[in-house]
Structure 1
Amino acid sequence: MTNLFCKGGRPPVANKCSHHVKVSFDDLEWDELTRMMEKANATVKATFIKQLIFGKPFKVLVADKSLAVYCAKLSEFFAQYRTIGVNYDLTVRTLRENFTEKKAMTHLYKLEKATIEMIGVMSQVMSLSEKFEQQWSLKSR
């Protein structure tokens, strides 16, 4: 039997880093390095500096809270829109069952006006969403 099974500690690494370099920074350079690390969401300074030296790409993710707020408001708006649709169906059914044809038609005319206004608002929401999507896709590039 070999003694490899009884050996303790870490397993050996294939490409061991054995060459070390010391880098000194002044206060301004150190502040710039820490700012860059915070933007890149990096935690290990040595790995971050290696990526900078060898030109490996790293992404800086910027959290834009306006996107989250916009999506929350948009989903809230569409929930209200669905509720209006359900209420619309109930209203039309109630008008048909409980009123005369002439009275039901006058109320349906008012309902039609409100629906046309709602379609206008919906088209504005769609154009704002498209504009926001174009703006966001430019930021992500």
Structure 2
Amino acid sequence: MTANWRGGRKPKIDKAIHRYVFRLTDAENARFLSLYEQSGLDNKAKFIVSLLFERKINSVIIDKGAIDYCTKLSQFFSQFRAIGVNYNQIVKILHTNFGDKKTVFYIGKLEAQTIELANICREILVLSKKFEGEYLIKNEHL
């Protein structure tokens, strides 16, 4: 024997020093033990580490701003559909209750308001595409 030998195990190069503790219910523990036995591994710690790092874990990032934006846009779409229903009802009422001159006059006014609404919708569409292009698509890659 040499004089430098102290006995014992060789020291590990990268020691596992970080410890995590968690608790399981009886049902969860039974499921855990079943999975552990099926894995064929001889060490529960190795089994847990393999579960953590060998399986893909999906992360979900919830962006409140994007959710609010989509909610407001959905509400606007609902209002827009309601306007379309009202528009059809108004045109039907005009044709059944008024003469041709008054109907043409009121439909002309309605048409002007419809053009204004269409312009607002175009602006919303442009802003939505800009928002998606600059904000939502960039955040998909995070």
Category of TM-score, reference length = shorter chain: 0.5 to 0.7
- The 5 Å alignment of 1:74-93 reads 74-93=73-92
C-alpha deviation, 1:60, in angstroms: 4.8
C-alpha deviation, 1:131, in angstroms: 1.4
- RMSD value, Cα: 2.8
Q: Are 1:123 and 2:114 matched, yes or no?
A: no
Counterpart in 1 of 2:94? 95
Whichever residue aligns with residue 89 of structure 1, its letter is: N
Query: What is the CA deviation profile of residues 34-78 of structure 1, one whole-angstrom value per residue up to 9, with x for unaligned ones?
Result: xxxxxxxxxxxx749x64xx9x87655432101111111111111
Q: Are 1:111 and 2:110 matched, yes or no?
A: yes
Structure 1's 19 and 89: CA in aligned 2 closer, same or farther, altered over 3 A? Answer: closer
Counterpart in 1 of 2:70? 71
- The 5 Å alignment of 1:25-44 reads none
Find runs of 4+ consecutive structure 1 residues off by over 4 angstroms.
Answer: 56-60
Counterpart in 2 of 1:16? 41
Structure 1's 47 and 73: CA in aligned 2 closer, same or farther, altered over 3 A? Answer: farther
Normalising by structure 1, we get a TM-score of 0.62
Q: 1 or 2 for the larger relative contact order (CA 8 Å, sep ≥6)?
A: 2
Distance 1:14 1:57 in 2: 17
Long gaps (5+) in structure 1:
1-8, 22-45
Whichever residue aligns with residue 138 of structure 1, its letter is: K
Distance 1:86 1:75 in 2: 17
C-alpha deviation, 1:89, in angstroms: 0.6
**Percentage of matched positions with identical amino acids:** 31
Distance 1:95 1:19 in 2: 78
C-alpha deviation, 1:18, in angstroms: 3.3
Q: How many residues align?
A: 105
Counterpart in 2 of 1:138? 138
Whichever residue aligns with residue 122 of structure 1, its letter is: C
User: Of the two, which has the highest radius of gyration?
Assistant: 2
